[in-house]
Amino acid sequence: MALFVGLIVVWQLAVSLLNIREYLLPSPMAVLRAFIEPETQWWPHLWVTTLEIIGAFVLAGGVGVALGVAIAWSPRLASALVPFLVLVNTLPKVAVAPLFLLWLGYGIVPNMLIGALIGFFPVVINTAVGLSQVDPEMLDLGRVFSAPKWKIFAKIRLPNALPYILSALKITATSAVVGAIVGEFVASQKGLGYVIITTQSSMNTPLAFGALVWVSIVGLALYGAVVAIARWAAPWAEATQ
C-alpha cells in the first residue's frame, strides 16, 4: 500500500516537474478529475463491460467444467475432444474477434464469447486433472463397495477437483476482462473499451486512464470474489493454493 502511494506521488511529481504534456501522460490529479467528472456518463459503459466480463467468466467456467468432466468421464470423449480443444487453444483468440462480430453483430454477446474463449481452456485442463488425481487406493475402496461411477464422481472426484477448478477460475477472471475489452476495441458502441478507443481521436488521455481505473476495479473485484469463494468453498485446500 505504501509502495502504491509512493508510486502515485512519484508519478505526480514527474509529470509536473518534467512538464509532460497531458495527452502523453496525464498526472494522477488529471486522471482523478476525469474519473469523477460528472459530465462523463460512466454508468452505461461500466454496466456493459461488467456484464460482458461476468458473462464471459460464467460461460468459460461452465463450459470449462462441463468439458473437463466429459474428458475425465469417458476416454472416448477425451480422445474426440482433446485434439480439437488443443487446436482451439493454439489459435490466437484475439484474431477471432472480428469473425464473432461478423457472425453475431454488435453487442454484448460476441464480446462475452471472446472473453470466454480466452479463459475456458485452463478450466478444462484443471477440471480434468483434478478429477483424475485421486489416490488409486481410494478408488479401490470405491470398487470394493461396488460404488456406482456417479457416486465416486460426486463424493470423491468432484470435491477433489474443486481446488483445481477454483485456481483455474482465478486465471479465467483475468482472461474475461481481457476478452471483453478486446471485443470492445474491435467494434462496439458502449463499454469501457469503447471509451478508451474514442479517446484516440479526441486525445483525451485522462479519460482513457479513467476508464482503465474502472477496468481494474471491475477486474480486481471479480478476482477478489473468486479468491473469497475459493477460501469458503475449499478451506481444506488453503495450504496448496
Q: Which residues form the interface with other proteins (CB under 8 A)?
A: 135, 137-138, 140-147, 151-152, 155-156, 159-160, 162, 234, 236-237, 239
Amino acid identity, position 141: L
Q: Which is nearer to other proteins, 208 or 230 (CB)?
A: 230
Distance of CA 190 to CAs 36, 56, 194, Å?
19, 17, 6
Q: Which is nearer to other proteins, 84 or 236 (CB)?
A: 236
Q: How far is the CB of 43 from other proteins (least distance, A)?
A: 41
Q: Which is nearer to other proteins, 81 or 162 (CB)?
A: 162
Q: How far is the CB of 161 from other proteins (least distance, A)?
A: 11
Q: How far is the CB of 142 from other proteins (least distance, A)?
A: 6
Name which of 216, 207, 206, 205 is nearest 181 in CA terms: 216
Q: What is the spatial distance between Cα 222 and Cα 163, in angstroms, rounded to a whole number?
A: 17
Q: How far is the CB of 71 from other proteins (least distance, A)?
A: 22
Q: What is the 3-state secondary structure (H, E, C) of 187-234?
A: CCCCCHHHHHHHHHHHCCHHHHHHHHHHHHHHHHHHHHHHHHHHHHHC
Q: Which is nearer to other proteins, 37 or 140 (CB)?
A: 140
Q: Which is nearer to other proteins, 182 or 237 (CB)?
A: 237
Q: How far is the CB of 148 from other proteins (least distance, A)?
A: 8
Name which of 135, 137, 99 is nearest 117 in CA terms: 99
